[in-house]
Amino acid sequence: MSERLQPGDVAPAFTLPDADGNEVSLADHKGRKVIVYFYPAALTPGCTKQACDFTDNLEVLAGAGYDVIGISPDQPEKLAKFREKENLKVTLLADPDKQVLDAYAAFGEKKNYGKTYMGVIRSTIVVDESGKVEHALYNVRATGHVAKIIKDLGI
C-alpha cells in the first residue's frame, strides 16, 4: 500500500479509460485544478449520493476552475450504466487493476463490523494547476462531502 499523499506532493500521473472506453489522463487537465475522488463501486447507495452531489455542484466547481474526476475499480461498461441511470456529468474512470487507487493510497485495509479487509478507501485529492496535491482527504463520508470541499476551497 502506498503512503498517503500530502499537500505539496506531485500527484501521481495516470491514464485510465472513461465510461465510453476513451483514455483520460491527469495530464489532459494541466493548467486546471482537478478534484480526483475515489469511490468503492458504481451503482451503490453511498457512491450514487456522492456522484450526484458532485454532478449537482459541477457548475459551481467548474466556475471556480475545477474539473472533477471520479475513479473506481469498476469496468467502463458499469460506469456507463451508472452515468446513464443517474444522469451523471462528472468524468468517471475505470481502474479495475487498482494501480491508480494504490498510487493515491486510496486502496488498502478497511474495517467494517469488526472485520478487516482490503478495499477502496473513499478519498478526495485536490490537484492544483501544476499537478501538485493541494488537499488530500482520506476516509471521507459520501454524504455532505461535496459541501465540505466547496467550503474548504472557499468557493
For 21, the grid coordinates are 472506453
Read off the DSSP letter of residue 26: G
- In the set 11, 47, 51, 71, the catalytic residue is 47
Residue 47 designated active-site:
yes
CA proximity to 150, closest of 133, 139, 137? 137
Please say whether the beta carbons of 111 and 139 come within 8 A: no
Q: What amino acid positions are annotated as catalytic residues?
A: 47
